[in-house]
Amino acid sequence: MTYLHSSLANSSTPAEPLLAFSEVTVNIKMVHALEEKETVVRGQRVRRKSVVAADANDLLLFTLWGQHDLMQGSWYKLENVSVRQFKAMATLSTTVQTTISQMEDCGAAKEFTDADLQIVVGEIVDAEVKVEHFCPKHHLVQTVNASTLMTRCNECKAFCKTAKTTVEFRGHVSVMVKSTQQKIYLDDVQIRDLLKLKADESVDSHSLVADILVHDEMCIQTWREFVAKVTFNDQSASSSSEPSDAVADRRTGDSSVELEGEEAEDLDALFEGL
């Protein structure tokens, strides 16, 4: 059994810490909203909200999938939430069995302050972005040519309209911070926000990486190991939101993609609560 580093305990057994890959019932206070956005996970568009939750002794990351309205400063009882591990950090995630109910004030909770958020600026060293296509039934499609009418899904054993496929970006940017190289994992929405791409826009991997490496520095806002926001920090390249001519040309060309298959395991840990 693997116990994760968090003093936030299972409400039914307060003396025990959270057990990895279990489902628990806990009482938490919602103390800070990190982000809320629609993202693509394994070909499905879902609403994801990431917040910082607290009990009397500790803070941890809580990911809510779907439509959930939690008020900052309020206490909630979470039933059947999944315990996950993200970079050795305990996290909670809703599942289809999760129920959330607001509670009366349960007393003092660990405080969240703006000092808990860290902002670093690093020089961009390298980048990698993988482009994955999914059929309407959410099967991974190995090869897609955006200029063709139809695409074959081997799982469905049938062709689908290429326009009905879903595109998901996932990758990383390595930055140099105080002589140390750090790898920052980015999901679909973070990459699209960073490069000012539309939610359904499909771009080939080479063009995405080129549009990142044209910049000099990146500003990263994190809470513990969780990346809350990334932006470009340089003035010259970021003064215009339009891509360079070379990158724009590649975006309008043939976007046939051969997938490599390997995924960022740390980022996947956040998605396993679905």
Mean pLDDT of 221-230: 90
Distance between CA atoms of 121 and 24, rounded to whole angstroms? 38
Architecture of domain 23-111: Beta Barrel (2.40)
Which pLDDT value is given to residue 242?
Answer: 57
Distance between CA atoms of 103 and 213, rounded to whole angstroms? 48
Mean pLDDT of 55-83: 91
Render 64-121 in DSSP notation, one character per residue.
Answer: EESS----TT-EEEEEEEEEEEETTEEEEE--TT-EEEEE---S------GGGEEEEE
pLDDT tens digits, one per residue of 153-203: 999 999 999 999 999 999 999 999 999 999 999 999 899 999 999 888 888
pLDDT tens digits, one per residue of 98-145: 999 999 988 899 999 888 899 999 999 999 999 999 999 999 998 888
Report if pTM > 0.85: no
Sequence-distant (6+) residues with CB within 8 A of 102 are 71, 74, 75, 76, 77
Q: Which amino acid is it at 43?
A: G
- CATH 2.40.50.140 region(s) of the chain? 23-111
